Amino acid sequence: MVENFMQNEIFDLQFQDVGGAQLPYLFFEGEASAPQMLFVHATGFLPWLWQPVIEEFVPPNNAWAPFVCDYRSCNPREGGLSWDVVARDLSAFCGGQQITRPLIIGHSMGATVSTIATALYGLQPRGLILVEPIFLPDLFYDMTPEVQSHPLAAKSIKRTNHWTDENEAWSYLKSKSLFADWDERVLQIYHKYGMKKQEEGSLKLTCSPENEAAMFMGGWDINPWPLLTEIKCPVLVVEGEKTENKGIVDIQRAVSLFSRATYKSVEGTGHLIPMQKPKEVAELIKEFSRQIE
């Protein structure tokens, strides 16, 4: 299926009103009556990066991938964009798009806001796949830090954000350890869509360092732990074998709190599992889908 559908075709963003904001999204159209899928990306990343996974399901399935970056005003020094707000917007997005009982696949921030939206804002997925969810220690959510004291926001706001041309940008990506173990096609997609060409020909990040930092800051706003017991649908929690979040995110605690959860570890991966092993992620989705049918 991968070889004959969408290999070189990535759709343009569309927009859905979510109440005072227009949420951008990609739509991958399948058959009218086919199951629906919703893919929600990680902080600072892009919906386009899901395409190698989505290709395994569309057609026949229909799939949506919203772009959560700067669709609302979000100043990192004023608390950023609350993940509670993003969760409400995700629910409004599904209502506006007439998405019912989707299989939701969320990565990192996307996993957390999908959890919040399901527990609090009426989303009713037929199943949740949470890839490396960000469920931090409870004490974290009682804090109100500045950007400079947030380990991820402080780092992201200083991220390199200028390249003279596409060749320099590609060389930069190939030189960085963050991207060293990415699937080559995913990296090419990031190079094409994660960097926006400026009028003079230079490139800047599509999701700017300021906006990425604002998204990280918004993660302090709501504690997801008390919400996990409210999730009644089947849940698959996926962790990278070598994740950088071990010791920070207690995945096994999360699995124990969901009423119908299973756990999978993906060998040889860190936090960025969908970028590193998209084929394995697609297989996990297929296996989980069969189990909950």
Neighbours of 141 (CB within 10 A): 16
pTM (2 decimals)? 0.95
CA atoms within 13 A on the CB side of 138: 5
For 256-282, the pLDDT digits (tens) are: 999 999 999 999 999 999 999 999 999
Arithmetic mean of pLDDT, 33-38: 95
For 113-136, the pLDDT digits (tens) are: 999 999 999 999 999 999 999 999
For 19-32, the pLDDT digits (tens) are: 999 999 999 999 98
Arithmetic mean of pLDDT, 65-83: 93
Give residue 293's pLDDT: 83
Give the CA dihedral 73, 157, 160, 244, nearest 10 degrees.
Answer: -120
Question: Please, are residues 68 and 110 in contact by the beta-carbon 8 Å criterion?
Answer: yes
CA atoms within 13 A on the CB side of 221: 21
Arithmetic mean of pLDDT, 86-110: 98
> How far is the C-alpha of 102 from the C-alpha of 123, rounded, in Å?
9
Q: Which residues sit opposite 237 in a β-bridge? A: 130, 263
> Shortest CA distance to 217 belongs to which of 75, 86, 116?
75
Give residue 8's pLDDT: 54
- Is the alpha carbon torsion for 253, 254, 259, 265 positive or negative? negative
The residue extents of the domains of the chain are 2-145+219-292
> How far is the C-alpha of 252 from the C-alpha of 290, rounded, in Å?
23
For 173-225, the pLDDT digits (tens) are: 999 999 999 999 999 999 999 999 998 889 999 999 999 999 999 998 899 99
> How far is the C-alpha of 268 from the C-alpha of 270, rounded, in Å?
7
Q: Which residues sit opposite 197 in a β-bridge? A: 203
Q: Is the pLDDT of residue 1 over 50?
A: no
156: its two tokens: 């992201």
Give residue 29's pLDDT: 94
* Summary mean pLDDT of the chain: 94
* Domain 2-145+219-292 indexed as CATH 3.40.50.1820: yes
> Shortest CA distance to 113 belongs to which of 130, 95, 136?
130
